[in-house]
Amino acid sequence: MAEKLGLRFQGRVWKFGDNISTDLMMPGHLYSRMLPWEEIAKHSMAANRPGWAEQVRRGDIIIARRNFGCGSSRPAPRILKALGITVVVAESMSRLFFRNAVNVGFPVLICAGAYDAFEEGDVAEVDAETGQVRNLTRGTAFQGEALAPDTPPYEILKAGGLDTYLKDVIARMKKGTWRPA
């Protein structure tokens, strides 16, 4: 049986619509300058929501509509993580963004119906392990698509990202205790 991840978050909601590109989250002109993640994060979403990054508080949650994280393969989840966003819930998202998020230990969740059930500023509770999404302001709840336990993506997220996961796998391989999921 899989152990509990402890990936339950509660925070203020920011809403984003369809087709939010990684280029909006992580402007290319800054990424190419090799700045620290925290510096790039100050400019996240500036093209469509000027000043948004300054308003974000640690613990905030993004609820999005469809195709969140489309665009290039930039490491945009690192930017959201650097801002203090704890989880992204979307009705659909780019598979590349999804895997990039898991690989950096940033929880993401697909949940049909969540976008229309929240207003910006509502308080959400998201359990990324079970897929449960609750609007604490309005008293509604939804079931999202949780990662299947004991699968590589689940294990990577549980470890806090791919780097940590691989270090653990290598250490267990050296001890002869590693078995693939």
pLDDT tens readout for residues 69-103: 999 888 899 999 999 999 999 999 999 999 999 99
Q: 129 Cβ partners below 8 Å, 6+ apart?
A: 4, 5, 6, 7, 8, 146, 147
Q: Is the pLDDT of residue 177 over 70?
A: yes
Mean pLDDT score across all residues of the chain: 91
- At residue 158, φ and ψ (nearest 5 deg) are -60, -35
Homologous superfamily, domain 8-146: Aconitase, domain 4 (3.20.19.10)
**Domain boundaries defined on the chain:** 8-146
Q: What is the pLDDT of residue 28?
A: 76
For 31-41, write each residue's pLDDT tens digit: 667 788 888 88
Tell me, what's the pLDDT at 1? 30
Q: Residue 29 pLDDT more than 80?
A: no
Using CA atoms, how far apart are residues 158 and 143, in angstroms rounded to an integer? 20
Q: What is the pLDDT of residues 138-168, one digit of tens each?
A: 999 999 999 998 899 999 999 999 999 999 9
What pLDDT score does 76 carry?
Answer: 93
Look at 9-13, 58-62, 173-177 and tell me which has the smallest mean pLDDT: 173-177
Q: How far is CA 28 from the centre of its chain?
A: 20
Tell me if residue 123 falls in helix, strand or coil: strand
| pLDDT value of position 36 | 85
The model's confidence at residue 3, banded by pLDDT at 50, 70 and 90, is very low
- Would you state the pLDDT for residue 179? 80
**Beta strand segments in 5-150, E:** 8-16, 61-64, 87-90, 108-110, 123-127, 132-135, 140-143
Residues of the chain with pLDDT > 90, as a percent, come to 77
